[in-house]
């Protein structure tokens, strides 16, 4: 894919010795022209490493060796200042729009490069609302993580929502289909049993309906979910 260099002044050096180990997906609140203009405006004090337009065109705003200003007040797995160690990808999409097929393909292609160069796997590709819960809601709850990860794996992006099959859930591989239940606000507190019937079925190790494009991500999500919910609570759900 072609990458268009559109430098933004809103950047600085990463802390010494720090390399990217996380990708943060964002969505803008405007259109192509407005998003590109805003992220390159020195008055905005915001940027991202990449901006993906509605047609899938990719603009590189900040080199990944440098620190873009995309996450703001943020934390991931107990480590604050996510801008220091992350790569930010902005997708042009308002809250009332769905991300386009071309955007999933482009973002997945970028993530595949970061996986090869930095070892950033699917479990380390998150949304803005994961690192700034309660403060941010992008990339919106309509974002289809399975489609992004399928594109990241080099697969053909397709809408798998109509296709379902039942499968047993076991903690073997990265499972991010459950990501909205695990990390999106509101999160269950320590020892609190999630209310979602899907979560209850997963914890009881029943077969669950999983979008075809997201099957390979189920197991890791289950593993993380079990870490959040105590064994006693799981037993009560059986």
- Dump pLDDT digits (tens) for 101-117: 999 999 999 999 999 99
In this structure, which topology does domain 3-152 adopt according to CATH? Lysozyme-like (3.40.80)
- Give the pLDDT score at 58: 98
Checking if the pLDDT of 38 tops 80, the result is yes
The whole-model pTM stands at 0.71
Q: How far apart are CA 207 and CA 158, in angstroms?
A: 24
Question: pLDDT digits over 172-221, tens only?
Answer: 223 334 444 443 433 333 333 344 444 455 445 444 444 444 444 455 55
Please list the alpha-helical segments (H only) found in the chain: 32-39, 101-118, 128-131, 145-152, 179-182, 197-203, 218-228, 231-237
Q: How far apart are CA 75 and CA 72, in angstroms?
A: 9
Kindly list the domain boundaries of the chain, sorted by start residue: 3-152, 164-237
Q: Strand pairing partners for 94?
A: none
Q: What integer is the mean pLDDT of 125-137? A: 85
Burial of 41 (0-12, 13-18, 19+ CB in 10 A): middle
Cα 160 → chain centroid = 18
Residue bearing tokens 């071309």? 102
Question: pLDDT digits over 45-82, tens only?
Answer: 999 999 999 999 999 999 999 999 999 999 998 899 99
Residues tagged active-site:
90
- Give the pLDDT score at 150: 78
- CA quadruple 15, 18, 24, 28: dihedral positive or negative? positive
Max mean pLDDT range (11-15, 96-100, 181-185, 192-196): 11-15
Q: How far apart are CA 97 and CA 21, in angstroms?
A: 29
- Collapsing DSSP to helix, strand or coil, 25 comes out as strand
Per-residue pLDDT band at 37 (split at 50, 70, 90): very high
**Contact present, 162 and 206 (Cβ < 8 Å):** no
CB proximity list for 172: less than 8 A, separation 6 or greater: 219
Q: How far apart are CA 166 and CA 206, in angstroms?
A: 9
CB proximity list for 96: less than 8 A, separation 6 or greater: none
Q: How far apart are CA 136 and CA 194, in angstroms?
A: 22
Per-residue pLDDT band at 224 (split at 50, 70, 90): low
- Give the pLDDT score at 144: 79
Q: What integer is the mean pLDDT of 137-143? A: 79
């Amino acid at each position: 894919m072609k990458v268009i260099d559109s430098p933004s002044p809103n950047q600085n050096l990463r802390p010494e010795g720090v390399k990217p180990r996380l990708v943060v997906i964002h969505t803008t609140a405007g259109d192509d022209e407005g998003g590109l203009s805003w992220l390159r405006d020195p008055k905005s004090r915001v940027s991202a490493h990449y901006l993906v337009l509605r047609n899938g065109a990719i603009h590189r705003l900040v080199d990944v060796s440098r620190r873009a200003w995309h996450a703001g007040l943020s934390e991931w797995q107990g480590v604050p200042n996510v801008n220091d160690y992350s790569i930010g990808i902005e997708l042009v999409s308002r809250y009332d729009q769905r991300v386009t097929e071309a955007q999933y393909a482009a973002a997945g292609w970028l993530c595949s490069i970061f996986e090869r160069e930095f070892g950033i796997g699917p479990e380390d590709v998150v949304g803005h609302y994961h690192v700034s819960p309660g403060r941010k809601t992008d990339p919106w709850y309509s974002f289809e993580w399975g489609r992004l990860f399928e594109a990241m794996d080099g697969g053909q992006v397709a809408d798998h929502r109509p296709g379902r099959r039942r499968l047993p859930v076991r903690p073997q591989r990265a499972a991010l289909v459950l990501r909205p239940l695990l990390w999106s606000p509101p999160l269950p507190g320590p020892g609190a049993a999630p209310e979602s019937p899907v979560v209850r079925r997963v914890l009881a190790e029943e077969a669950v309906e999983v979008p075809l494009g997201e099957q390979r991500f189920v197991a890791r999500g289950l593993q993380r979910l079990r870490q959040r919910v105590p064994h006693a609570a799981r037993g009560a759900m059986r």
